Amino acid sequence: MKNKFLGIPYIIWMAIFVVVPMFLIVGYAFTTREGGFSTGNFSNMLSYAGVFGDSFLLAIIATLVCLLIGYPISYWMTREGPGVKRIALVVLMLPMWMNFLLRTYAWMSLLENTGILNELFSAIGLFKLINAVTGSNIDHFPMINTKGAVVLGMVYNYLPFMILPIYNVIDKIDARVIEAAQDLGANSANVFRRVIFPLSLPGVISGITMVFIPSVSTFAISKLLGGGKTLLLGDLIEMQFYGNSYNPYLGSAVSLVMMVIVLVCMAIMNRFGDGEETAVML
Amino acid sequence: MSKELIRLVDCVMEFDGEVVLDSINLYINDAEFLTLLGPSGCGKTTTLRIIGGFQQPTSGDVLFNGARINDVPPHKRQVNTVFQKYALFTHLNIYENIAFGLRISKVPEDEIRRRVGEALELVNLSGYERRSVNSLSGGQQQRIAIARAIVNRPKVLLLDEPLGALDLKLRKAMQIELKKIQQEVGITFVYVTHDQEEALTMSDTIVVMNGGRIQQIGTPTDIYNEPKNAFVANFIGESNIIDGIMVQDKVVTFAGHTFPCLDSGFGTNAPVDVVVRPEDLHLTDPEKGHIRGVVESVVFKGIHYEMMIQSPTFTWKVQSTMFRAVGQEVGMTLTPDDIHIMHKS
C-alpha cells in the first residue's frame, strides 16, 4: 500500500509536537527545581484544591447551561427549512470569526460597573425603582469580576460547540425512523422522548466534551471577566510559566492532574454514549 | 363474503402543482393481500403513505371501516407499516424494537414479553431478543421490521417494497414466508412493489398503476391472462404487442394472417392492439406455421430459450424449450386463447 507513506509526515509531526511535549510534561511534573525525582509537586498541589474545585464547578455549570440553551436551539434548527437552517448556522458561527479576546473584551465593556448594561438599567430608572422599593442605595449591578461573569463568558464563547454536534446528529436522523415511531403509535412527545433524544445522545456527549474541556482549562475568560478574583486551573498553570512564581515543575504537575481528571470524566461520559456511534470525541 | 376495510375515493395528490395521483378509487377487503404494482414514480408509494397517514390527499377521501380518516394522524390509525429500509431503532435492541408500540400503548410487561416472543417466533428469529440491530443481516432486519409492526395486531399492514434490498434467493424465500405470515395472522396486507413476479407470487389482488392512475385491478391470473391495455400487458410479464384489425367479433387479422380469437365487442374492421405472450407462440416447421420467420438471436435462460424471430412485419419474442439456431427459418402457431385484443391506447 503506497498510500500508507502519505501518513508519515503527520506521524512525525504528531511525535514532535504532541508525544514529546507530553513526555516533557510528565518529566517536569516529577522533577524538583534542583533536578531530582520527586512527587513533591503533587503534594504541594493540595493547597490548590480550591482552584480545582472552582474550575470544575464553573466548567460544569457552564456546560450544563450550554446544554440547556443549546439543545432546544439545535432541535429547533433541525425542524426548520433549509433557508432558515443556513441563516441560523451563519448567525451561530459569525461571532467565531472574530478574535476570541476581542469578544471577551466586548463583554467587559458590557458588564462593567459603569458599562453599557448598567448605564442602560440606570437610564430606564431600574435602580431608582429598586432603591424606592427596597430602601437600598445601589447605582449598578455588580456583574463584572464575578463567577457569574466567568460562566457567562464560557457559555457565550463555547455555546456553538454544543449546538453544532447536537444539530448535526439530530439533522441526520432518518425521517423514516421518526415515521416508524409515529406509525407505532407515538405522539410527538413520545417520538422525542423515545427516539429523537436517545438517538441524539452521541451529539450531546461530543457537545459536552467540546464545551467542558476548554471551559475547565480557560484562563483568559476568568482573567478578563472574573478580574482574577477566582483563580482557575488555567490561571494557575499560566502563573507557573509566566508569573513571578516561575515554577514549570508545579505547572506541569497541575496540567497532568487536570488532564487525567478530564480523561476520566470523558471515559465515564463515553459509557453513556454506548461506544459504537459516539461521534467526534476530543 | 369478505368485508370491505379501506376505501379510497377520488384521491388526488399534487406536489407543487404536479399531479402524482389522479383520482384513485380503490377498495381493500379485510384479510386480503393486495399489491400496488407499477414502475417507480407511478404513485404506488404515495398511495401507501396516504393509507398510513403520512400524507394527506389534496382532494378525495380515505375511508376506514366506512369512517373518513383523512385527518387522523399516523399514530392514531390501526395501521402499521414496514418501511422500505426497515427504519429500525438503532438505539434499542431487538426486544425493545418490537416492544416499542406495545410500550406506547401501555401494555403490561408480562404481556409484552409474551407477544414479543410470539412475534419473534412468527418471523423465525426466536432467541434474538438481546441482539443489537446492527448485528443482523438485511433479511433478519427485514423480519424484525415485520415483527415490530405485526406485534401491535394492526388491522392492516402496509409494506413498502420491503424486499427491495435483499438478494434474489432471499427475496424468493421471503415472498413465501410473507404470504405464510399473512395467512397465519389473517390481516390485510397492502404491499407495494415494482417487481411483477413478486406481485404475482403473493397477491390476492393486484392493482397495476402507472402515471398516477390505476391501470387495472384484478387477481394475478386475470392481470396476467387478460391485461386490459398495452401497458399492463408489457409490465406484467413480457409481451409481443402488434397492430391488428378486428375484422368482426372473434376474428382478427395481424401479421398477414387472419386468426380466430375469443374477444368481441370491438366493432368491425377496428384497429386494435394484439398482445401475444412469448411463451404462447409455438414453434413448428415453417410450412406448418401461421407466421413464418427467421431466428435472429437466441439466449439461453435456464428453463427456456429466448429467441427473437423476424417475420416480414414484426420481430417476435418467443420463449420455447425447443432450440432453433440463428438464421434458421421457423413457423409459429397460435391458438385462439393465446391472442389478447385491446383497444388502441
Burial of A48 (0-12, 13-18, 19+ CB in 10 A): middle
Inter-residue long-range contacts of B67-74, CB under 8 Å, 24+ positions, other chains counted: B73/A182, B74/A179, B74/A182, B74/A183
Q: Do A183 and B80 touch (CB under 8 A)?
A: yes
Q: What does the pLDDT look like over A136-195, one tens digit per residue?
A: 888 888 888 899 999 999 999 999 999 999 999 999 999 999 999 999 999 999 999 999
Residue A125 lies in a domain: yes
- Select the residue of B52, B81, B87 nearest A174 (Cβ to Cβ): B87
Q: How far is B148 from chain A (nearest CA, A)?
A: 8
| B238-343, CATH topology level | OB fold (Dihydrolipoamide Acetyltransferase, E2P) (2.40.50)
Phi/psi region, residue A80 (left: phi>0; alpha: psi -120 to 50; beta: rest), is beta
Cα atoms in the 13 Å half-sphere on the side-chain side of B169: 0
For residue B127, report the phi and psi dihedrals to the nearest 5 degrees. Answer: 95, 0
Q: Give the list of residues 6+ apart from residue A22 with CB closer than 8 angstroms, or none.
A: none
At A201, which amino acid appears?
L
Q: Which residues of A touch B81 (CB under 8 A)?
A: 179-180, 183
Domain ranges of chain B: 4-230, 238-343
Closest residue of chain A to B80, computed from CA coordinates: A183
Q: Is the dihedral of CA B91, B92, B94, B100 positive or negative?
A: negative
Closest residue of chain A to B89, computed from CA coordinates: A177
Residue A21 lies in a domain: no
Q: Residue A97, SS3?
A: helix
A177 touches chain B (CB under 8 A): yes
A2 touches chain B (CB under 8 A): no
Q: Does domain B4-230 have CATH number 1.10.3860.10?
A: no
B75 touches chain A (CB under 8 A): yes
Burial of B85 (0-12, 13-18, 19+ CB in 10 A): middle
Q: What is the CATH number of the domain that holds A71?
A: 1.10.3720.10
Q: What does the pLDDT look like over B112-132, one tens digit per residue?
A: 999 999 999 988 899 999 999
Tally of domains within chain A: 1
Residue A11 lies in a domain: no
Concatenate the DSSP letters of all residues of B27-92 into one string.
EEETT-EEEEE-STTSSHHHHHHHHHTSS--SEEEEEETTEE-TT--GGGSSEEEE-TT----TTS
Q: Which residues of chain A have pLDDT under 50?
A: 275-282
Q: Note the pLDDT of residue B225.
A: 85
Nearest CA-CA partner of A61 in A212, A231, A223, A277? A212
Q: Which residues of B touch A177 (CB under 8 A)?
A: 87-89
- Select the residue of B74, B85, B89 nearest A182 (Cβ to Cβ): B74
ipTM above 0.90, yes or no: no
Write down the pTM of the prediction: 0.78
Residue A280 lies in a domain: no
Q: What does the pLDDT look like over B209-262, one tens digit per residue?
A: 999 999 999 999 999 888 888 889 888 888 899 999 999 999 999 988 899 998
- Select the residue of A176, A185, A277 nearest B101 (Cβ to Cβ): A185
Q: Which residues of A touch B45 (CB under 8 A)?
A: none
The alpha carbon of A248 is separated from its chain's Cα centroid by a whole number of angstroms, namely 25
Residue A142 lies in a domain: yes
- Select the residue of B80, B87, B101 nearest A176 (Cβ to Cβ): B87
Q: Residue A84's domain spans which residues?
A: 49-273
